[in-house]
Structure 1
């Protein structure tokens, strides 16, 4: 059996990418902010909140230490990121939520269906279903971050979006490894 430290190395490396500069900083005054920056931030907040909900289920119901540790780390990281994004929106004097229907007008990227999360709660194959759902959820974050990198204006938000892409890809690789066991 592989050691816990070895199994968690990709996650810890991915979390290190975020570092102190990625959590809690506000964009410097005067940096340009465009509609893409605002929409990305507004849409990532509910996406992250769903990720936190999914991850907390994994932390509570996971059988293996690797899965529980991964889930706890995802929940903690994404909570910090939600707080950072809320600070950005306040600093930009923008609404904290996207207007109704805005999701469709900005790429129509999918959201995790509430029914999927509810089904996970009662799953008999919890670890497999948890990993499958969180992989899909984190892949959505990678895609959303890619849209920001391509079309955003604020340098700090774009740097953070790139770190999101890198860290979520590492998490996906780790979760796929866990699925193969």
Structure 2
């Protein structure tokens, strides 16, 4: 399952061995191991890395009205990224979502009991940090703000962060699952909506990966909650 972006310079994480079925092992744990392995693999492939605007130059657009062309410094003949009008709101919302995800994961660090949940949280953070760099690079190259926009529907809010921050040690796993599952479902909805309306091909591809990865993460979080 491809849950990230492809770039040989992206952050590398340790690969997860293919799980084997042990006698009496519950199916959901096997499914969880497979999905977490996929998420970690996706976190190994990200978008542009390096300093702000690395490898990207802002040029005049020759595309549709309202488009902003950002040319990559990749191999000769590489197609440039053209941000259309619908791309900018999506990327801005994605920045806000991923920033909030990283806050959520940070609040749970060192407090989670379930080792599978710890692994999943680390994979989520790695994947979304890569996406965050990509979205900011594209927005910066287009001359747009990179700080993120308003919260979208279902996006975890300050009250959710407070619940997680104040959770008793025995409740942290449960609260994280509750907060993060809805947050990730909202991101999947956001990405599917952008994928449906169009936009530039690279941003649609990013939206497709976001939709698939967040759906898988939400399913895994929900499965763990009823284990």
* TM-score of the alignment, normalized to the shorter chain, above 0.5: yes
Matching residue of 2:167: 123
5+ residue gaps in structure 1?
none
For residues 113 and 61 of structure 1, the distance between their equivalents in structure 2, rounded to whole angstroms, comes to: 20
Aligned partners of 1:145 and 1:165 also within 8 Å:
yes
Matching residue of 2:198: 152
How many residues in Structure 1 have an aligned counterpart in Structure 2? 173
Between Structure 1 and Structure 2, which shows a larger proportion of helix residues?
A: 1
Cα 1:69–1:2, aligned 2, differ >3 Å: closer, same or farther?
A: farther
Residue aligned with 1:145, SS: helix
Higher Rg of the two aligned structures: 2
Matching residue of 1:12: 37
5+ residue gaps in structure 2?
1-23, 50-55, 57-68, 72-79
State the TM-score, normalized to the length of structure 2: 0.67
Shift in Å at residue 110 of structure 1?
A: 3.7
| Match status 1:57 vs 2:103 | no
Aligned partners of 1:33 and 1:152 also within 8 Å:
no
> For 1:10-159, what aligned pairs fall within 5 Å after superposition?
10-16=35-41, 20=45, 22-24=46-48, 29=71, 30-97=80-147, 109-124=153-168, 125-159=171-205
Aligned partners of 1:109 and 1:140 also within 8 Å:
yes
Residue aligned with 2:90, SS: helix
Query: Deviation per CA, 1:45-91, whole angstroms, max 9, x where unpaired?
Result: 11101101112233321101111111111112111111111101122
Aligned partners of 1:18 and 1:167 also within 8 Å:
no
- RMSD, aligned α-carbons: 2.6
For residues 131 and 98 of structure 2, the distance between their equivalents in structure 1, rounded to whole angstroms, comes to: 8
Cα 1:69–1:98, aligned 2, differ >3 Å: closer, same or farther?
A: closer
Structure 1 ranges of 4+ moved more than 6 A: 25-28
Between Structure 1 and Structure 2, which shows a larger proportion of strand residues?
A: 2
Cα 1:98–1:10, aligned 2, differ >3 Å: closer, same or farther?
A: closer
State the TM-score, normalized to the length of structure 1: 0.83
